[in-house]
Structure 1
């Protein structure tokens, strides 16, 4: 079980990133960087953990983060020039960066709106993304990525919608060196996030929206969207708009823009 090498990572990533820290174990890298943001940690600070004991995903779900199996990282961003309303699209930017990684590793993968990366012929969940905006005078956001590098074991429960977990190793990745994988992922994210930031958080102006539409397997599927407040919506996922919202066409002929919700893929349309 190789450890994550902070020295190697800093040599490759400091420049695009202000700071890169690695810890063997922590409760949650997102929680740690939220606290660091209050202490004025700089833009593009990175924290990586070999294990999380209290990792969380969307809707405060537990994210399984056992030691030696994955990469659990968070990035603190202070994107000047990006409005609060545009922060929702940052998870989509991160999803594309994870696909840059899986492409480089020879792993067949795709995106599931808004924050899941699916891999392999059975489309198991290989990675999850969580962006949390911080309430502060200066706009800041903590972006977390949990990536399964090796199999998690039999005790891990399926994700929302019944998605079984999978890993890079199970899908033929050409390396499971977690230091190398972290470096590739963060390099890809730095490039894509810079484009997104220069475009004021607009996916289309950044040249990312069309690519996201192609790589997102939610688009074109019959879906059930589980919305906040225990309501739901069923229809066809028709599009993703400039702000990263899912556009759902319901049977009554209306189109609804969904900012947040859990999506269950039902079937492909057409």
Structure 2
């Protein structure tokens, strides 16, 4: 079945295309201990029956209407453990660029911190990364992007798809190959810089694509506390910097559920 993804197959170290699977992330997490799955192995399907989003949310879609893809990234001497938190941001940036490529007439495709992709303020893609601890630590980076869902098929009013956003004939292989190419390029530069997001240009590129920066936001922090203010930037650790209402200081946020209250 890989013939359906010839361009993507040329970019992946190993590409497995499944007719259906409960979760591409779960499959790759289970396979990570096997050396037969090298760095930048990819599992993809257009029918995922038990996908997961952030905070344990269920991610499902009608068969054949969305693309679920997981990429295995092996940590090595050039990618230290404390730099792995940048991988979902890099993946989100790569998918933002891939979606922009599919929607050339739109200028409102942005990255929402930490790793959602929005079109016109509506979510078209989410990214979920999982650390796999073993002899060689690895990260499985999963992404789910809505391709051909109609307005009626979208799970929530805040979601969209390529078709709803104006793409007449979404090309899954083109989208996936663009995503893999962008992700690989960002990862190569990041590794070459020893996992330094500033020196590699990753920090600046993510900040530039991030619609959260400059927006008024509401952040639900772990534990239930709420932080409201203006997102001012992204620091070298990948944290969003929020200037809380009434405060001159910037609060770094490493984890939280972000709502855009007003676009920049």
Q: TM-score, normalised by structure 1?
A: 0.88
Show CA shifts across 1:145-166 (max 9, x none).
10111125536443xxxx6110
Q: Distance in 1 between matches of 2:140 and 2:203?
A: 22
Show CA shifts across 1:86-138 (max 9, x none).
11111111122112212322144111100110013xx2101111111112232
Is the counterpart of residue 6 in structure 1 residue 13 in structure 2? Answer: no
Displacement of 1:201:
2.6
Which has the higher mean CA deviation after the structures are superposed, 186-195 or 11-20? 11-20
Give secondary structure in 2 for the equivalent of 1:220: coil
Contact persistence 2:86–2:237 (CA under 8 A):
yes
Displacement of 1:12:
3.1
Show CA shifts across 1:10-48 (max 9, x none).
x43456422000001111100100000022322111000
1:69 maps to what in 2? 65
Query: Of residues 143, 167, 178 in structure 2, which corresponds to 1:173?
Result: 167
Structure 2 gaps, min length 5: none
1:43 maps to what in 2? 39
Q: Distance in 2 between matches of 1:64 and 1:20?
A: 22
Aligned-residue CA RMSD (Å): 2.0
Q: Distance in 1 between matches of 2:45 and 2:218?
A: 34
Q: How many residues align?
A: 258
Is the counterpart of residue 118 in structure 1 residue 124 in structure 2? Answer: no
Is the counterpart of residue 17 in structure 1 residue 15 in structure 2? Answer: no
Displacement of 1:268:
4.7
Mapping 1:162-241, distance limit 5 Å = 164-173=158-167, 175-241=169-235
Query: Of residues 45, 52, 58 in structure 1, which corresponds to 2:48?
Result: 52
Show CA shifts across 1:173-217 (max 9, x none).
264122232222222222222222222332221112222222211
Show CA shifts across 1:231-264 (max 9, x none).
2211211110122110111233332211111101
Contact persistence 1:65–1:72 (CA under 8 A):
no
Contact persistence 1:30–1:144 (CA under 8 A):
yes
Is the counterpart of residue 34 in structure 1 residue 29 in structure 2? Answer: yes
Displacement of 1:75:
0.4
Give secondary structure in 1 for the equivalent of 2:229: strand
Is the counterpart of residue 84 in structure 1 residue 81 in structure 2? Answer: yes
Is the counterpart of residue 144 in structure 1 residue 139 in structure 2? Answer: no
Structure 1 gaps, min length 5: none
Contact persistence 1:18–1:42 (CA under 8 A):
yes
- Assess, with a 3 A threshold, how the Cα gap between structure 1 residues 223 and 181 changes in structure 2: closer, same or farther: same
- Assess, with a 3 A threshold, how the Cα gap between structure 1 residues 173 and 200 changes in structure 2: closer, same or farther: farther
1:96 maps to what in 2? 93
Contact persistence 1:202–1:243 (CA under 8 A):
no
Give secondary structure in 2 for the equivalent of 1:204: helix
